[in-house]
Amino acid sequence: MLNSIKGETTDSWVAAPAIDDIEDAARALRGVAFETPLLENVEVNRNLAGRLMIKAETAQRTGSFKFRGAYNRIRQMSDAERSRGVIAYSSGNHAQAVALVARLLGTQAHIVMPDDAPMTKMKRTRELGAEIITYEREVETREEVTQKIMAQHDYVLVPPNEDKRVLAGAGTVALELLRQAEVLGAMPDLILVPCGGGGLTAATAIVAKALAPSARVFGVEPELFDDTRRSLEAGQRLANPKGRTTICDAIMTDIPGELTFSINRDLLGGILTVSDEEVCSTMQFAFDHFKIIIEPGAAVGLAAVLAKKIEFEGKTIVVIATGGNVDTDKFCSLLKSHQLN
């Protein structure tokens, strides 16, 4: 287990956040993070014979929900800890979030990223002032690379998932959407969440259990990166085979986290999977009907609805669109390739 603070193990922080932790994070994020919209289209609802809403974290700072967890972690560091600098590993969205929060709170960010991460995400991370260290997915894991760097430097780790402070920040997405849904008189029967490392999925399930126990939370993965689905079926964490790829770069994780898997195993309604082609179709649909740009990994929840991977007729369903950080040329190319098929 990686250490986050010199001389202290992370055991006390590798634990599930309580609803009180998530509500505390929401108070800290007020006026710092954006309250993102809960979108709805009456015509879409009529065609689906259900009520569909999209929680658009595409409109969050740095373009994804990751800002919430990064801020909640780094804000709780002492001045001495911030003076050492922070380190994180990410394919792009957590990287940008940590980079921005580090700049806002006066520390230096060092980000471990795969060398095949989207160039746009790398560029934006550098522009926010972070140092990037790349690695090859097929040779090393991001955790191994980070451990080597931390053995040489005194950086403080800001993991994307395996920390209750990060998960508490992520949980504010669900806290916010439930409050918005209540105002609309549309408390959800189902909540679908893109699942990579499983942090947002776990945090959403914690909030739903506490505040909307009748709502079922499902994670959604790409077909070829279904490590959480297979792990839940096996009752133990299983890694994805090497050599696979998907357009959903934001959720191309190697294996479920220990903490997030333990939460998801107990609280999730299940895991759904979608194909890259279904994701492309969904990105087009979101652009046409909701006027938003969703990156591939963030579109999987909506894709599961449109592909009818779950029964939703007569139900109220919320999908979390976790981010919109997709290169313009790639977005256009993916939509064009779908239209040609």
- What tens digit of pLDDT does each residue of 107-139 get? 999 999 999 888 889 999 999 999 999 999 888
User: How far lies 248's CA from each of 11, 135, 146, 195, 224, in Å?
Assistant: 31, 19, 23, 11, 10
* Helix (H/G/I), strand (E/B), else coil: 75: coil
Strand pairing partners for 156?
A: 86
Task: Please give the model's pTM, rounded to 2 decimal places.
Answer: 0.94
Q: H/E element holding 109? A: strand 109-114
How far apart, in Å, are the Cα atoms of 182 and each of 26, 204, 336?
A: 17, 16, 38
Region 226-242 average pLDDT: 96
- Burial of residue 295 (CB within 10 Å: 0-12, 13-18, 19+) is buried
Tokens representing 261 are 């898997």
Q: Which residues of the chain does CATH 3.40.50.1100 include?
A: 19-65+164-340, 67-157
At residue 172, does pLDDT exceed 90? yes
Read off the pLDDT of residues 257-316 as tens digits, 9 standing for 90 and up: 999 999 999 999 999 999 999 999 999 999 999 999 999 999 999 999 999 999 999 999
Q: Which of 185, 151, 171 is closest to 38 using CA atoms?
A: 185
Third-level CATH fold of 67-157: Rossmann fold (3.40.50)
Architecture of domain 19-65+164-340: 3-Layer(aba) Sandwich (3.40)
